[in-house]
Amino acid sequence: MNTRVLTGITTTGTPHLGNYAGAIRPAIQASTQAGVDAFFFLADYHALIKCDDPARVARSRLELAATWLASGLDPERVTFYRQSDIPEITELCWLLTCVTPKGLMNRAHAYKASVDQNAAKGVDPDDGVTMGLFSYPILMAADIVLFNAHKVPVGRDQIQHLEMARDIAQRFNHLYGSDFFVLPEVVIEEEVATLPGLDGRKMSKSYNNTIPLFEGGASALRSAVMRIVTDSRQPGEPKDAEGSHLYTLYRAFATPAESARFRAELEGGMGWGDAKTALYDRLEGILAPMRERYDALMARPERIEEILQAGAQKARAMAAPALLVLREAVGLRNLGGSQPAAKTAQPARKAGKGARFVSFRDADGSFRFRLLAADGEELLTSQAYADPKQAGAAMKRLPADGLLQEADQGYAAHLDGAVVAGSPAGADAADVAGMLARAREALAELAQQ
């Protein structure tokens, strides 16, 4: 089975060299690997949370799409679309909003940071806080779980949002009694380059120290490179390559052999002017062909629109059927169809699905799973796990390797001699033998799938 990887890019600015090395290039390279089903989208709804300048958002959507395509993103190989072209995302966002505790959103880092800033100013805690900012993690969760992404590459500042997406998806699965959503796994790219800017700090528009990727052409690139801060060592004096921002930048765009040569020349006394020229030549050799493609795309915005519309069509072919299932699950059914039975003490579950596992999270944050029969009867409840991966591994092994035995006041499931699950709380003591037999049948059914 392919691994589905999903990446969103907020449309609030124009990419610079650091964005290319740190996010665009590795993401495109990953999308070419065998067994990877890659989804890339322009997060233009997210942009509205941060930016109220319509012209900037519109321009950024065009520039970002052109940048990714010019950098080598293959729209035939990946699913490339705009968030705003997929109405199922916002519909799912509302369904998820209706099951998300407000307390979870209260703990979101971005919201808490705004509250803290307001407290420092002595103003109302929610001054300037929009519902877009407050509920941002729910929209992000909808982006991810609608397409059942297995892995989501993010920076460390986004880890909490991925954990929230898992919590929200798990809550929905538990509430409506089926594994509607895959629980996404966060991927931190530890090896991704973080490039220094003109002043040595991390390259960022916030510091106004960026090197343009395509904007302004070759002259803007040369001008930026020549402004990179260096020390006062003169030509002929050995340079500290490891401490040089020039060397760090050069190394990010050169082979190991080329980097070694450049380092040797710096340590041998190459002047900073010559070193900057060498860096410019290296960057221009790589960026010039991409810039040519970028300029051609920017001159034909209708071609970019065609590509994005084709991507949206591909994405909606998966999103629309998924939303029909979810609408049915929450009760938004076609009135001409058969009506469900009245709700009893437990949520009604669809018959005919076969035995299945469902996972959930306890109030204390621990992870568990249940084994359900085809009719939704609960047959096993797992022990609590601190690590969701351990819970998942036990759930995966149980059908083939598990041993079910009678125990005090019920029965228990064993793996490698350890109890991993037991009969559900409140099980009828008079029917232990019958439930044990059904649990064994359910595990045998799953083992054959």
Residue 11 labeled ligand binder: yes
Q: Does 156 show up as a binding residue in the annotation?
A: yes
Q: Residue 18, annotated ligand binder?
A: yes
One DSSP character per residue, 45-80 reads HHHHHH---HHHHHHHHHHHHHHHHHTT--TTTSEE
> What's the topology of domain 205-298?
Tyrosyl-Transfer RNA Synthetase (1.10.240)
How deeply is 53 buried, as exposed, middle or buried, from its count of CB atoms within 10 A (0-12, 13-18, 19+)?
exposed
Least confident window among 149-153, 348-352, 424-428: 348-352
HSE, side-chain direction, 13 A CA sphere, residue 414: 9
Tokens describing residue 107? 């703990």
Q: Would the annotation count 204 as a binding residue? A: yes
19 annotated as a binding-site residue: yes
pLDDT in tens, 318-331: 999 999 999 999 99
Mean per-residue pLDDT, 79-91? 97
Q: Mapping DSSP to helix (H, G, I), strand (E, B) and coil, where does residue 39 land?
A: strand
* SS3 labels along 11-31: CCCCCEHHHHHHHHHHHHHHH
> Of 4-8, 12-16, 84-88, 219-223, which gets the smallest average pLDDT?
12-16
Query: How are the residues of the chain apportioned to helix, strand and coil, as percentages rounded to the nearest 5?
Result: 50, 15, 35
Does 112 belong to an annotated binding site? Answer: no
- Determine if residue 10 is labeled as part of a ligand binding site: yes
pLDDT of residue 428: 64
- The answer to whether the annotation marks 255 as part of a ligand binding site is no
The pLDDT, as a whole number, for residue 353 is 62
Residue 437 is predicted with a pLDDT of: 84
Which range is least confidently modeled, 275-284, 314-323, 332-341? 332-341
Q: What percent of the chain has pLDDT over 90?
A: 63
Under the banding of pLDDT at 50, 70 and 90, the label for residue 363 is: low
Q: Residue 350: its pLDDT value, please?
A: 42
User: Does the annotation list 122 as a binding residue?
Assistant: no
Residues with Cβ within 8 Å of 254's Cβ and at least 6 positions away in sequence, in order, are: 262, 282
Mean model confidence pLDDT for the chain: 89
Is 202 annotated to bind a ligand? Reply is yes
CA dist., res. 348 & res. 334, Å (int): 17
Mean predicted confidence (pLDDT) in 256-277: 96
Mean pLDDT of the region 380-385: 91
The CATH class that applies to domain 356-448 reads: mainly beta
C-beta separation of 155 from 107 below 8 A: no
Q: What is the pLDDT of residue 343?
A: 43
CA distances from 423 to 161, 174, 345, 399, 439 (A): 34, 18, 19, 16, 9
Residue 335: CB atoms within 10 A of its CB come to 5
Domain(s) of CATH 2.30.29.80: residues in the chain: 356-448
Indicate the range of 46-50, 116-120, 275-279, 431-435 predicted with least confidence.
431-435
206 annotated as a binding-site residue? yes
- Listed in order, the ranges of the chain carrying CATH 3.40.50.620 are 3-194+300-324
- 401 is annotated as contributing to ligand binding: no
Is the predicted pLDDT of residue 385 greater than 60, yes or no? yes
CATH fold of 3-194+300-324 reads: Rossmann fold (3.40.50)
**Residue range(s) in the chain whose domain bears CATH number 1.10.240.10:** 205-298
> Count of alpha carbons within 13 Å of 73, Cβ hemisphere only?
28
Confidence of residue 231 (pLDDT cuts 50, 70, 90): very high
